[in-house]
Chain A
Amino acid sequence: MKCTICIGSSCHLKGSRQIVEQLQYLVKENHLEDKVELGGTFCMGNCVNGVNVTLDDKLYSLSPETTKDFFDKEILAKVQ
């Protein structure tokens, strides 16, 4: 699956780097490099609800605090 994180200015200030770092770490720790493709983009046109993350085109609103939960429920549960 493809997971795209918004790294535009607004999401950046809301912690998108921390989310990217967590996701990079979690994907590696769970050996999902072949199954999950992480990517960035500069704006999803939904700045108010950032940090914006899409998982195969479905939009999620995350914060660094909710990232682990998101990974467990939306990524880990689905790929296994």
Chain B
Amino acid sequence: MPIPGQEEWKFDTKVQYIKYKVLREVARCAFEDRLLATYTEIPKLIVKDKPTMRCCIYKERAIVEERIRLAMGGNKENPNVIEVIDIACDECSKSGYNVGSACRGCIAHRCADVCPRGAISFDEHQKAHIDKTKCVDCGRCAQVCPYSAIVNEKRPCEKACKVKAISMGEGGEAAIDNSKCISCGACAYMCPFGAIVDKSFILDVVKLIKESQNNEKYKLYAVIAPSISSQFSYAKLGQVISGIKELGFFTVVEAALGADMVAYAESKELSEKGFLTSSCCPAFVDYVEKAFPQMKEHVSHNLSPAATIAQYIKETDPTAKIVFMGPCTAKKMEFQKEKLKDIIDSTITFEELQALFDSRDIDLKSLPEDVLDNASYYGRIFARSGGLSDAVAQGLKEQEIEFDLKAVPCDGIEACRVALLKASKGLLPGNFIEGMACTGGCIGGAGCLTHGEKNKADVDKYGKEAYEKTITSAIGMMKK
């Protein structure tokens, strides 16, 4: 268990901490204009003279080199922002049913009796063995074993990937199928060896900060996701805002104000079309396009909240540059889309924001509290599952639109799959699918520093603290 007060305490796992250390050093070198000259020194800086997690310091350093490559933007040939570091993959045993040490070598052999493929044989101690070339993973043997000695072991990445985009590559390492992957980052968060990583755009952000010349050449805006309310829990939200400005941003705007705009427009769109799915979550939209193309026409035509507010900022300040900061790895795919080109200039996660703070030695706890207040309660609760549905209901109410809303909030991509499948067959008892790829909504995002029980309550509390209590009042001051 990490000790409170130490850096590790800022993250859920040591894997995140290692990634963070690399990002921090890369950012530090970039800020100090010495990246090309000194990035080769980073592995030695991070892996000292003794191995702490792998066979030897040379392997550890080689992996750090790979992490540096990803921190610097990763493989440009690969359009996916999620990449496998082959040499970091521990090549876990193949997913499927395996006989464990609990097998007592009984004489009943129920496992073999139920196996439809004759895949089970016994050694001289009567212990069972599964022939993987015959096994079809039906699981019947596991059901009948009186000792529960047969278990379905799944590689953590494959288990985390609910869209089944990960398989075992030829050399045993994880392989991602880009035609299925929705870049949600679940595998990156779950891999216990940190072998799957989201590519970083921090160097682009450092460049945007430097080239703004203290916001004189152009103004640099940070658009921040409402899930920020459950993050950086060691400091006050106002201190995080001060920290972002200390980094060199001109100002910070809530993506939640874009969410208010979306809720207002989406409720109207829903009442006109009669059936709709949300378009806020880029991983969900990607999933619809890849797995349910026939449902694509039903995806709301609204841009996501981040893109909506970014577009508005650029209307008020055409030379503005905008960086989105959030919990999401899929957002790193979204901002590169052709239709969002020139709207959002770069995207980073909360993990990367933490690395940027520390690369500049910005201690959030010592900073004064700035303010962040643009959106309403409803825009802010988009960060958790069910919030978007509540906001759409409110949008209908405030616009006095008569529409019998039957929202289906889908918490996680598996729930999305079930709802989309039913809807594609006309069997869904609802007319609005709130699609969120991560469990719990954005607060479950892979780019969060921490994930916890309290996060939902934090979002609701933050929502209630909003100065504006209705969507109409929050967006009322925007140019009509």
Partner of A17, one of B241, B251, B473: B473
Q: Mark A27-40, 1 if CB is under 8 A from B, else 0.
A: 00000000000111
Q: Which residues of A contact B253 (CB under 8 A)?
A: 8-9, 42
CA distance A7 to B374 in the complex (A): 8
A to B CB contacts below 8 Å, 12 in the list: A8-B251, A8-B374, A9-B252, A9-B371, A12-B467, A16-B477, A20-B477, A21-B476, A42-B221, A42-B317, A43-B219, A45-B215
Known contacts A9-B241, A12-B477, A13-B467; 11 additional CB pairs below 8 A are A5-B477, A9-B370, A12-B373, A17-B476, A20-B477, A40-B478, A41-B316, A41-B317, A42-B253, A43-B250, A45-B250
Residues in A21-60 with C-beta less than 8 Å from chain B:
21, 38-43, 45
**Which residues in window 223-282 of B have CB below 8 A to A?**
241, 250-254
**Chain B interfacial positions (CB closer than 8 Å to A):** 215, 219, 221, 241, 250-254, 313, 316-317, 370-374, 467-468, 473, 476-479
On whether A38 and B221 interact (CB within 8 A), knowing A10-B371, A12-B374, A13-B371, the answer reads no
Contact check, B477 vs A9: say whether CB atoms are below 8 A apart.
no
Q: In the bound complex, what is the Cα–Cα distance between A43 and B317 (angstroms)?
A: 10
For B316, the chain A residues whose CB sits under 8 A away are: 39-42
CB within 8 Å for A9 and B250 given contacts A20-B476, A40-B478, A41-B316: no
Q: Are A40's CB and B477's CB within 8 A?
A: yes
Given A9-B252, A39-B479 in contact, is the A17-B468 Cβ separation under 8 Å? yes
Chain B residues, Cβ within 8 Å of A9 = 241, 251-254, 370-374
Task: Give the CA-CA distance A56 to B468 in the complex, in Å.
Answer: 29
Q: Are A17 and B477 in contact, with the CB atoms below 8 A?
A: yes
Determine whether the beta carbon of B251 is less than 8 Å from that of A7: no
Residues on the A chain within 8 Å of B215, using CB: 45
Q: Given the complex, which residues of B lie within 8 Å of A38, measured CB to CB?
A: 479
Number of A residues near B (Cβ < 8 Å) is 18
Q: What residue in chain A is nearest B215 (Cβ atoms)?
A: A45
Question: CB within 8 A of A7: which of B221, B241, B478?
Answer: B478
| Chain A positions 53 through 69: 1 when the CB is less than 8 Å from some CB of chain B, otherwise 0 | 00000000000000000
- Which residues from A are CB-within-8-Å of B317? 41-42
Q: Which 7 A-B pairs have the closest CB atoms?
A: A43-B251, A20-B477, A17-B477, A9-B371, A9-B373, A41-B316, A9-B372
From A5, A13, A21, A42, B251 is in contact (CB under 8 Å) with A42
Q: How far is the CB of A15 from chain B (nearest CB, A)?
A: 10
Closest to B320 in A: A42
Which residues of A sit under 8 angstroms from B372, Cβ to Cβ? 9
Residue in chain A with minimal CB distance to B309:
A42
A11 → chain B closest CB, angstroms = 10
Instruction: Chain B residues near A40: list those with CB within 8 A.
Output: 316, 477-479
Q: How far is the CB of B330 from chain A (nearest CB, A)?
A: 26
| Cβ of A18 to closest chain B Cβ, rounded Å | 9
Q: Which residues of B contact A13 (CB under 8 A)?
A: 371, 373, 467
A47 to chain B, nearest CB (A): 8
- The distance in angstroms between the C-alpha atoms of A42 and B222, with both chains bound, is 11
